Amino acid sequence: MSARYEELKSLKNLGQKYAYTDREVMLYAYGIGLGADPMDESELAFVNEGTLTPRPLKVVPTFASVAAWGSGPGEMNLNRVMVVDGERDITFHQPLPTAAHITADSSVLEVYDKGKDKGVVISHQTVLKNEKGEKLATLVASRFARGDGGFGGPNLIQPDAHQIPSRAPDKSIDITTRPDQALVYRLCGDRNPLHSDPEFARKAGFPRPILHGMCTYGITCRGVLQTYADYDPAAFRQHIARFSSPVYPGEIVTMDLWKDGNVISFEAKVKSRGVTVIKNGKTVLG
């Protein structure tokens, strides 16, 4: 077995400590677009705690993706300019509290070496736990390092993606993003200038800053919340999506959804450019 494969596979970082408050919870919800209509009580429950008539603040399930921002299994020494997000898969063990001290245990699950000049896919997980040591959420991320690979790792095949039903969608909804949405979402943790600096975006090959892929991921969670989950975060058991193309802030994201029992399949596209931005999406409700 190659030394580089063993180096990546052995990465592990346990007991990383983080904390968040209701401020971060509301900022994330606003960052993925909830609360755009300041009179929509269903969405206000995620961005406003209520005053004259108190009501509990709700936490968007995919807030788990930023609750321990910066956690990870360790330095992978990759060509970062060539690294892109491939997939996110979050399993929810219990609803997230509105404020908490948490720990994050991160480790590499597998390394898929596609060969020289073909890149490598690294799958790693982070388990979030509360102060009692109980699991809150398990996050599995796949990153595609296009500038690496060919170091002699085992010839492994990635698991098949979730298949979308062949019938017409059961629902289709349009979600409008704001022109300044990336500038808000970046305050949740991801300060990558690709999403905020026009000059940097142009050098990276884009005409203007793009929306964070994880913001689009959160938008798809929002889409399931408003269609099949009755805005109930506790209904979510799992939320998976593969990233296929970026969204530009201000564009309209169209979500197609299929319901089969407690499984919601989805894809998302930007019709104005004829591109699919999220593929092979699956939410499990329960």
- The residues annotated as belonging to the active site are 190, 195
Q: Report in angstroms the alpha-carbon separations of 127 from 33, 130, 159, 269, 278.
A: 26, 10, 21, 30, 24
What amino acid is encoded at 205 in this protein?
A: G
Q: How distant is the alpha carbon of residue 194 from its chain centre?
A: 17
Specify the residue for token string 């409700």. Answer: 285
Q: In whole angstroms, what is the distance from residue 188 CA to residue 256 CA? A: 27
Backbone angles phi, psi at 162, to 5 degrees: -60, 135
Burial class (CB in 10 A: 0-12, 13-18, 19+), 6: exposed
Q: How far apart are CA 171 and CA 220, in angstroms?
A: 13
Cα–Cα distance, 75 to 8 (Å, whole number): 9
For residue 276, which of 229, 227, 204, 216 has the smallest C-alpha distance? 216
